[in-house]
Amino acid sequence: MYFASSIMKNTDVIIIGAGAAGLMAAYELSKAGKQVTILEARDRVGGRIHTLNDDMHTELGAEFIHGDLPVTLQLLHEAGMKAIPLPGEMWYYGDGKFSHGYQQMDDWALLLKKLAELEQDTNIGDFLQTEFGEERFADLRKSVVKFVTGYDTADPFKASAFALRKEWQSEEEDTQHRVVGGYGPMIDYLVKQIEKNGAEIYLSAIAKNIHWTHGRVEVITADQRSFKAAQLIIALPLGVLRADTGEKAAIQISPSIASYREAMQQIGFGSIVKILLQFKTAFWKDEAQTGVSLKDMIFILSNEEIPTWWSQHPEHSTLFTGWLGGLPAERKKNQTDEEFLQQALQSLANMFKLDTEALRSNLAAWHVANWTTDPFTLGSYAYDMVESVEARKILNTPIDHTIYFAGEYLYEGVAMGTVEAALTSGLETAYKIL
């Protein structure tokens, strides 16, 4: 067994990744008296949580709380933070006009009925073709695929029908929240508590090689620093764990953990691009321009190239956010930021009957968050494939009581792919060690 001779740091537990899962695990472990060292590849903490506080106060990553989620709300309470419900209206743009509420999905009840009767799991794409393949169901198929692609950022021909059935049957009405001040202060709170408990966080520390035997682990970073511990938590996004060896954040583990590598391939990981546009004026509130009152609008769904948009309602803000998920985001991932901006402006111009150059001149600031090509994320968040339940059983089992995994992709509740999922996984992994 090879262990580098130049030891930089000995500790009880090394955690690779300072996102929500890694920080939550460190919080619990350090509180219990464990010596914890966190290695973070970025020059900041938070992972897919990134609150921007310069000329655009907004969230580049996670933004909403999708439901009354206990771990997230409890942590916000501990940190003295608040989450506010989102009372705004949902709108749909299609056929040249705005309509209030969701796009009417005919045969939705029949879809849920057929899903409830499904006895053997399959992907939702094949399910639709089998059960709703007739021409009269063309709009239903298109709507379901658009939803799975946009909301779950999933490939419909990989996404589990059972998992989507569970998601759709457990949807809570009117429980969306937004964190006052963004998720960033919650991450700052965790870091403060972790460091108060004696843990150390190393930024710009890209873990590249892991050597392990029972009760002993060494992590070597890209700049050849060595960290040793009795136990290791790998709290990285699934996209990084599945990365090819040539990727910047790819990690080599020796001895190999082939069954775990295989299990990682059985959980889906989507694609996402988020486009944030800070305008000088909130033009969407101009009823003379839109023909309808969008003053209480929070979401707009459409068939435009950038299809999903939201405002900061009820906050008075001129920020408008575009969202492109799933296979469309994967296909466009190598576009330039300027290309994404132009497509975003064109989508808004089409909806609001405006000139793209007029919209551009109304821009105060803009930012494209392309998480799909971000080298330390390589995607959006996890979704279930047909084999994912069994894969999670493997990945949630520690390797020889020495290597543990944590992350939103390992969560087994209904809030998969969320901050809640990451925090919960981090907590549960800490409990296993303790």
376-417 pLDDT tens trace: 999 999 999 999 999 999 999 999 999 999 999 999 988 889
Q: Is the peptide bond before 398 cis (omega within 30 degrees of 0)?
A: no
Residues of the chain with CATH 3.50.50.60: 9-49+182-265+386-433
Render pLDDT for 179-219 as a digit per residue (tens, 0 to 9): 999 999 999 999 999 999 999 999 999 999 999 999 999 99
User: Hey, what's the torsion of the CAs at 53, 56, 61, 66, to 10 degrees?
Assistant: 100
pLDDT of residue 8: 61
CB atoms within 10 A of CB 90: 14
Q: What is the mean pLDDT of the chain?
A: 93
pLDDT of residue 2: 31
Contact 288, 244 (CB under 8 A): no
| CATH classification (class only), 9-49+182-265+386-433 | alpha beta
Instruction: Give yes or no for residue 4 having a pLDDT over 60.
Output: no
pLDDT of residue 77: 96
| Token pair belonging to 248 | 């910047």
pLDDT of residue 104: 60
Q: Domain 83-179+272-370 belongs to what topology?
A: Polyamine Oxidase; Chain A, domain 2 (3.90.660)
Instruction: Give yes or no for residue 171 having a pLDDT over 70.
Output: no
DSSP string over 189-241: HHHHHHHHTT-EEESS--EEEEEEETTEEEEEETT--EEEEEEEEE---HHHH
Cα Rg of the chain, angstroms: 22
Instruction: Give yes or no for residue 3 having a pLDDT over 80.
Output: no
pLDDT of residue 86: 86
Instruction: Return the amino acid letter for 6.
Output: S
pLDDT of residue 395: 97
CB atoms within 10 A of CB 242: 17
The residues with which 57 forms a beta bridge, in sequence order, are 53
Write down the pTM of the prediction.
0.93
pLDDT of residue 88: 86
Render pLDDT for 20-40 as a digit per residue (tens, 0 to 9): 999 999 999 999 999 999 999
Residues 39 and 242: their CA atoms lie apart, in Å, by 19
Render pLDDT for 59-103 as a digit per residue (tens, 0 to 9): 999 999 988 899 999 999 999 999 998 888 999 999 899 988 765
Q: Where are the alpha helices (DSSP H) in 59-179?
A: 70-78, 108-117, 124-131, 138-150, 161-169
Render pLDDT for 224-282 as a digit per residue (tens, 0 to 9): 999 999 999 999 999 999 999 889 999 999 999 999 999 999 999 999 999 999 999 99
Residues 14 and 77: their CA atoms lie apart, in Å, by 28
Render pLDDT for 266-321 as a digit per residue (tens, 0 to 9): 999 999 999 999 999 999 998 887 888 898 999 999 999 999 999 999 888 999 99
